[in-house]
């Protein structure tokens, strides 16, 4: 089996101990990170995916229960996307009347055609593509994707996405640490 260098093994053990002692903070931080990462334009400033993968690795190293963290990330992401959708719906007139819309007049009609064609599947698939993850909920609000269609896809994809981010780190830590 692959061996971690002694000092890395030591730091991984320290990180695992820190996670065990601050499990409630881990849950709160994971929720907040997923929520903020789902708002429009914020992901450009925060490397959220990397941090969430690291949380998965830390869970694997610490042995804390993954379910509360998974739920926190899922709920945070879904609520953040819900806010993003609401902002798009609320401020669609600002977007439609903007200079950017005037400069690129085919973008919004193409977005509306995209949601018309793909519906809920567009939300699920775009959750897994970094640049689209935080903008698609906003654009779906601007394009008036029906709320129930959006919410169904939003909540389902949030739970799938968070599992896809946590599990590789958990498995990697358990494999590397031999747990």
Q: Domain ranges in the chain? A: 6-177
pLDDT in tens, 131-145: 778 788 988 898 888
Across all residues in the chain, what is the average pLDDT?
84
Higher pLDDT, 19 or 110: 110
Q: With 60 as the cut, is the pLDDT of residue 128 above it?
A: yes
d(CA 61, CA 46): 24
29 within 8 A of 72, measured Cβ to Cβ: no
What would the DSSP string read from start to end of the chain?
Answer: -----HHHHHHHHHHHHHHHHTHHHHHHHHHHHHHHHTSTTGGGT--HHHHHHHHHHHHHHH---HHHHHHHHHHHHHHHHHHHHHHHHHTHHHHHTSHHHHHSTTHHHHHHHHHHHHTHHHHHHHTTSHHHHTTHHHHHHHTT--HHHHHHHHHHHHHHHHHHHHHHHHHHHHHHHT-
pLDDT in tens, 87-104: 999 988 888 788 877 888
């Amino acid at each position: 089996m692959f061996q971690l260098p002694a000092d890395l093994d030591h730091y991984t053990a320290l990180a695992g101990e820190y996670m065990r002692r601050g499990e409630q903070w881990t849950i709160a931080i994971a929720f907040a990170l997923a929520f903020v990462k789902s708002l429009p334009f914020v992901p450009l400033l925060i490397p959220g995916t990397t941090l969430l993968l690291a949380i998965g690795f830390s869970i694997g190293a610490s042995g804390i229960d993954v379910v509360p963290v998974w739920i926190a990330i899922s709920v945070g992401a879904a609520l953040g996307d819900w806010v993003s959708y609401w902002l798009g719906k609320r401020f669609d007139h600002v977007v439609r009347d903007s200079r950017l819309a005037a400069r690129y007049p085919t973008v919004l009609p193409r977005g509306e055609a995209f949601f018309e064609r793909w519906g809920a599947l567009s939300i699920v698939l775009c959750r897994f593509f970094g640049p689209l993850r935080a903008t698609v909920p906003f654009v779906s609000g601007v394009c008036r994707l029906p709320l129930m269609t959006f919410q169904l896809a939003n909540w389902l994809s949030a739970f799938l996405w968070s599992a896809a981010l946590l599990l590789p780190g958990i498995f990697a830590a358990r494999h590397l640490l031999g747990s």
